[in-house]
Amino acid sequence: MLNIPNLGLVPMNTKTILGLSVLAVLAVSVTGAAYAASWVGASGGDAEMKNKKTWVLTATALDKVPRQTGELAGFGWLYTTFDPTDNAVDAFGITTHDADLNGDGKNDVRDSNQNKDGWHGHNFIFAPGAGAATLCVAEIADAPTSGISIKGDSVKVNLRDSQAHGDFIDDVGVGYQIVVEPACGPTVPTGDVVDQEILDTLGVPLGLPLGIILIS
């Protein structure tokens, strides 16, 4: 792992994905990862079309979810077209990443117009997992504004269908830890979002190599 201050990254060994189906991905989720906060991860979730215009996405976290946190983590829902090999959007997720990369006390990864330093949404393009990552994050495709509700361990998101990239898989909601994994390639567009001087200092001039570890 990269030695980045304040990210709290701890190396961990996990199985790599032997297949690329949804079942194969979910099968490598980690149970109770010791280095993550108690709430990181999901015991279940769902995605339902509320009407022809809105998706209701839900997940049950492993503990009470804070509204503000420095933890690098989130919750996600997979599209029915999920395939980490096709360079297309695979999932929508909400995430928080108050990431201080250079120790100056400021968030250096502000990539959304909605609550840049707290919970906000992204559509993700994944690549097959590498190193400790269940999946590598090839690209953060966009940052749609969504209605996010967090109450205790219950997470609910209202997402306009026009901001989704297809239909979601029923009865699947996942929790994940965000990691900097050198075995993954640079995540687009972190090379543009993060200050170039910081990237150069970290030795990743083309962007942060991000991955996720699924936790259940």
Q: Which pLDDT value is given to residue 104? A: 67
SS3 state at 116: coil
Q: Which pLDDT value is given to residue 24? A: 46
Residues 140-167: pLDDT tens digits? 998 888 999 999 999 999 999 999 999 9
Amino acid at 63: D
Amino acid at 64: K
pTM assigned to the model: 0.79
- Residue 144 bridge partners (DSSP): none
Q: Which pLDDT value is given to residue 27? A: 45
Residue whose tokens read 């001039």: 205
Residues 172-207: pLDDT tens digits? 999 999 888 999 999 998 766 677 887 787 788 888
| List of the chain residues with pLDDT < 70 | 1-35, 97-118, 191-193
> C-alpha distances in angstroms, 140 versus 3, 89, 91, 93, 146?
23, 9, 10, 10, 16
